[in-house]
């Protein structure tokens, strides 16, 4: 797998500075959030959780640190 390229002061491979990850509340979703954190993203706010009558759905916003306001 090729190494991820980081733009100067920005996320790798042209990823956006703000992202909202969504999915079923399962290990795969947790891995996606963990991978984003390992790249350098930071959590932005609290996760949102809902139930669609069958599954628990979660959402977590993440932001690249250089775009976050202190």
Sign for the pseudo-dihedral over CA of 49, 47, 63, 6: negative
- Do residues 60 and 49 make contact, with C-beta atoms less than 8 angstroms apart? no
Which pLDDT belongs to residue 22?
A: 98
Which pLDDT belongs to residue 1?
A: 46
- Reported as a pLDDT band with limits 50, 70 and 90, residue 34 is very high
pTM above 0.75, yes or no: yes
- Report angle CA 30, 25, 53 to the nearest 5 degrees: 170
pLDDT in tens, 5-32: 555 689 998 999 999 999 999 999 999 9
pLDDT in tens, 40-61: 999 999 999 999 999 999 999 9
Alpha-carbon distance 51 to 70, whole Å? 33
C-alpha neighbours within 13 Å on the C-beta side of residue 1: 2
């Amino acid at each position: 797998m090729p190494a991820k390229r980081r733009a100067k002061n920005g996320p790798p491979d042209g990823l956006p500075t703000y992202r909202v990850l969504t999915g079923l509340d399962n290990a795969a979703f947790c891995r996606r959030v963990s991978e984003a954190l390992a790249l350098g993203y930071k959590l932005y706010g609290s996760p949102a959780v809902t139930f669609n009558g069958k599954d628990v759905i979660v959402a977590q916003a993440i932001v690249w640190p250089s775009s976050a306001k202190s």
